[in-house]
Structures are given as C-alpha cells and as structure tokens.
Amino acid sequence: MTPFEAWKDPVTGVEFVFAHSDEKFTTGVMYIPPGAALPKHNRPKAFENLKQISGKCQMTVFDIDGEGSFDKVLNPGDTLHMEKGQFHIHSNPFDEKSFTLFKAEGDITGVMKVLRENFKSI
C-alpha cells in the first residue's frame, strides 16, 4: 500500500483515506456524506477504535453474542472501541458531513482487498 491511498464507494459516496495499512494495523479517515451509511460489517481479526473529527456519526453496535445492540451518536472528540468480530454500522442521518478517524489493530488486509475490488480509487 502506498501512503494516503484513497477509495470511494460509487454507490454511497463514502470515502476512505488510508494513511497506513499492513498486517498489524490500519489507520485513516472515513468520510460519510449526509444520508449515507455503510452496511453491517465487522473486523474478524482486528479491534477497531474510532474518534469523531468533525460532524456526527450514528453508530449501531451489536453485542458480540448477537443478542442485542446499542446506538451511539459520535460527536466531535468522542471515541468508540469495538472488539474483534463485533458487528457494527456507520451512518450519517444528519445534515452535515461526517469525518471519523479510525484505527484497526490487527490484520484487515482482506478488507482492503475487497475495497480495492469494489470501490473507485480517488
């Protein structure tokens, strides 16, 4: 991966800018336009840590056992930690742009491969 690799989902308009990605960790910024959302997903081999930079992000986080979930609105400065394998949804039902810093601690090279295959390089 080259530094600052950037990808955009052609359907939702969600953008990712990766500052670093390898088998140990991946970090970057995610942009979610108003009204957009990512589908329910997880990181089977990585912990995920989020910090809201600008705007707001609605998070739906599912219990590890699959029995329930909770919603949390991330405001600027808020953080959220998710365990390995924890399913979650990022969405922006608000009128402002959402920018979230993320760090996945663990191997998400498989996720990166899917992004490269399905998203448009920007």
Strands 46-54 and 120-121: unpaired
Domain ranges of the chain: 5-121
What average pLDDT does range 31-40 have in this prediction? 96
Kindly report, residue by residue over 62-96, the tens digit of the pLDDT.
999 878 999 999 999 999 999 999 999 999 999 99
- What pLDDT, in 10s, does the model give residues 19-35? 998 899 999 999 999 99
Give the pTM: 0.91
Residue 70 CA, distance from chain mean position: 17
User: Which CATH code fits 5-121?
Assistant: 2.60.120.10
Task: For residues 58 and 5, give the distance between their C-alpha atoms in angstroms, rounded to a whole number.
Answer: 25
The predicted-structure confidence for 1-21, as pLDDT tens digits, reads as follows 556 789 999 999 999 999 998
